[in-house]
Amino acid sequence: MQIERIGSLRAALGECPAWDAASGRLWMADCRKGLILAVAPDSGSVQSWQLPAPLGSFAFNGEDELVVALKESFGLFRPADGSLRTLARIEDSHPNLRLNDGAPLPDGSFVAGTMHIYREAGEAPLGGLYRLDTGGRLTRIAQGLGVVNGPALHPDGGHLHVCDSAARKIYRYRMDAAGGLTAREVFVDTDALGSAPDGCCFDRDGGLWTALVHAGAIARFDREGRLDVRIDLPVAHPASLCFGGDGLADLYVTSISDSGRLSAHGPLDGALLRLRGTGYAGAPRPRCLIRP
């Protein structure tokens, strides 16, 4: 297996990698700076777009737009002309609350959750997990999550896996055809691995990969939640990951140099990494189809 750095970019808070097969580019966010980046893996060249910071997450919407989660709102962003259209806002507002990680669902909707940090002991988190449907309507579908990361739909299409990084757990929900969630259970508790879980993705065999953000590693869990792969990385804080490249056989990992709460100053901290030869290939990722 090979681990290599892509280009020379150094993100403060590298998140939300997504492979665009049509252009052969890896898209990602530098959330603290409010940047969306499109990286050509072979040359390392980067195209960037500025959005209001902090940026929580994004997903491809159709062929020419992105759906974006900003601090407390969802919108549609068009890279070609830089236009941003606000669609909906969450009902809670707090200086320490913002939207965070998100993912597209097969029906064309978008799901994203919040992070509520610096809470007092016993203080319930505001926000939750939200679904923006294809008509641009917003619904809160789960609550009680401190720091949502890595929402990822299992390849079976019936189970949504959601990290609460504050609790150091990955939960598995049953998802119905209307996007509702039931039957929450703990899929993995990563505390024994010395880290919270961060961004997630699935391979086509049904294995869940997550970034162990405090342990400088990524991990794969099988269908039963058993750890079967751990790969140590040359960065202190890997944040998220996705499969890409030909046959979705490469694994891309984003990382942190200074998130505001986590920082590291090694030569590769904040870099985009590519892992080749893991022996796994990614599950296809859908695009959103949000047309208000």
The model's pLDDT over 155-174, given as tens digits with 9 standing for 90+, comes to: 998 999 999 999 999 999 99
- Residue 291 placed within a domain: no
The model's pLDDT over 189-201, given as tens digits with 9 standing for 90+, comes to: 999 999 999 999 9
- Residue 183 placed within a domain: yes
150: left (phi over 0), alpha (psi -120 to 50) or beta: left
- Residue 284 placed within a domain: no
Edge-to-edge strand list for the sheet holding 197-202: 197-202, 208-212, 217-221, 227-232
- Stretch (H or E) spanning 134: none
Residue 18 has pLDDT above 90, yes or no: yes
- Residue 30 placed within a domain: yes
> Which of 248, 187, 247, 245 is closest to 219 using CA atoms?
187
Q: What percent of the chain has pLDDT over 70?
A: 100
For the chain, what is the domain count? Answer: 1
Which whole number is the average pLDDT over 97-122? 96
Q: What is the pLDDT of residue 143?
A: 96
Q: What is the pLDDT of residue 221?
A: 98
Residue 177 has pLDDT above 90, yes or no: no
Q: What is the pLDDT of residue 247?
A: 97
- Residue 42 placed within a domain: yes
Token look-up 């598995």 returns 172
- Residue 41 placed within a domain: yes
Which whole number is the average pLDDT over 201-213? 98
- Residue 168 placed within a domain: yes
User: CA separation (Å) from 255 to 11, 41, 130, 147, 218?
Assistant: 7, 16, 25, 17, 11
- Residue 288 placed within a domain: no
Q: What is the pLDDT of residue 133?
A: 97
Domain that holds residue 90: 2-276
The model's pLDDT over 30-43, given as tens digits with 9 standing for 90+, comes to: 999 999 999 999 99
The whole-chain average pLDDT of the chain stands at: 97
CATH number, domain containing residue 100: 2.120.10.30
Q: What is the pLDDT of residue 179?
A: 84
- Residue 253's pLDDT band (boundaries 50, 70, 90)? very high
